[in-house]
Chain A
Amino acid sequence: MIALFYVASAVALVATAMVVTRPNAVHALMYLVVSFLAVALDFWVLGAPFIAALEVILYAGAILVLFIFVVMLVDEGPAGVAREKRRMTPGGWVGPSVLALVLLAEVGWIVFQGDATMTAAKVVAPKTVAIALYGPYLIGVEVGSYLLLAGLVGAWHLARGKRAARE
């Protein structure tokens, strides 16, 4: 359905515009979650259900959790609490909630139609993707695993801190 694509795209654009304009990091992160979820819905409509699931798990899940950890770590004591109180005003959470409800309504509509073949494009099945990934692109998977290992070692080294390094 093409209307699903347009609504999800509008939500993605609004949420992304809010991310780059919010002064408050936590507000921006809430909009960023909504933006990734909207793009995931776009992936589904475009016939990529596997990538849509990965988008929710990896981007809206894992990467956003990392960001939230860092926001919590760099927040400072009493000033942070005072800011937290101001954060709980409706201005902070109404916008992301409304946008998320729009996405929820879309997903609910898809589910209650009971037709999983409602994607606007021809579905490229996960099996086809997996055969391509572990066939002609196997070397890319190996390079990707090296990159993730390098990222792991790099993050461990950088986050260890000076005191631990001296010991």
Chain B
Amino acid sequence: MTQIPFEQGLMLAGLLFALGLLGVMVRRNLLFILMSVEIMLNASALAFVVAGARWGQPEGQVMVLFIMATAAAEASVGLALILQVHRLLHTLDADEANRLRG
């Protein structure tokens, strides 16, 4: 039973988070932006699990449950917003949706 180095687990979480952040900044399709936000939430959950495993405490996994609840609420509201944007503008380009009045 070899322990996974704490730093490597955090590095993986950091890399995944950076990839998600890159997606949010580079992509202009709202669907891809929402997917990238999910990736970032997932990466932060991984960081919590790595930290929980490092000290053998349940708190890391408790936080992951809260993150999952947040991600579920965020995905449902975000996807409903995407449907509304598509209904109003017939596109998913984030730059087209730059006015609050449709």
Q: How far is the CA of A19 from the CA of B16 in the complex (A)?
A: 11
Instruction: Please state if A70 and B83 are interface contacts (CB–CB under 8 Å).
Output: yes
The answer to whether A13 and B19 have CB atoms under 8 Å apart is: yes
Given the contacts A48-B49, A124-B61, A154 and B80 also touching, CB distance less than 8 Å: yes
Name the contact of A147 in the complex, choosing from B4, B53, B73, B75 (C-beta under 8 A). Answer: B73
Q: Which residue of A lies closest to B36 (CB)?
A: A20
Establish whether residues B4 and A137, one from each chain, have CB atoms under 8 Å apart when the complex forms: no
**Which of B42, B53, B86 contacts A47, CB < 8 Å?**
B53
Main secondary structure of the interface of B (DSSP, over half): helix
Q: Is the CB of B31 within 8 A of A71?
A: yes
Query: Given A58-B68, A67-B75, A151-B77, are A19 and B29 neighbors across the interface (CB < 8 Å)?
Result: no
Shortest CB-to-CB span from B94 to chain A, Å, is 14
Q: A43-B46, A151-B72 are in contact. Are A67 and B39 (CB under 8 A)?
A: no
**A80 CB to nearest chain B CB (Å):** 13
**Tally of chain B residues near chain A (CB < 8 A):** 60
Interface residues of A in 22-74 (CB under 8 A from B): 25, 28-29, 32, 35-36, 39, 42-43, 45-48, 50-51, 54-55, 58-59, 62-63, 66-67, 69-71, 73-74
B80 CB to nearest A CB, Å: 4
How near does chain A come to B61, taking the closest CB pair, in angstroms? Answer: 5
In contact, A16 and B62 (Cβ under 8 angstroms):
no
Chain B contact residues, CB within 8 Å of chain A: 1-4, 8-9, 12, 15-16, 19-20, 22-23, 26-27, 29, 31-32, 34-36, 38-39, 42, 45-46, 49-50, 52-54, 56-62, 64-66, 68-77, 79-84, 86-87, 92
- A residues contacting B by CB (< 8 A) are 1-2, 5, 9, 12-13, 16-17, 19-20, 25, 28-29, 32, 35-36, 39, 42-43, 45-48, 50-51, 54-55, 58-59, 62-63, 66-67, 69-71, 73-74, 117, 119-122, 124, 128-129, 131-133, 137, 140, 144, 147-148, 150-152, 154-159, 161-162
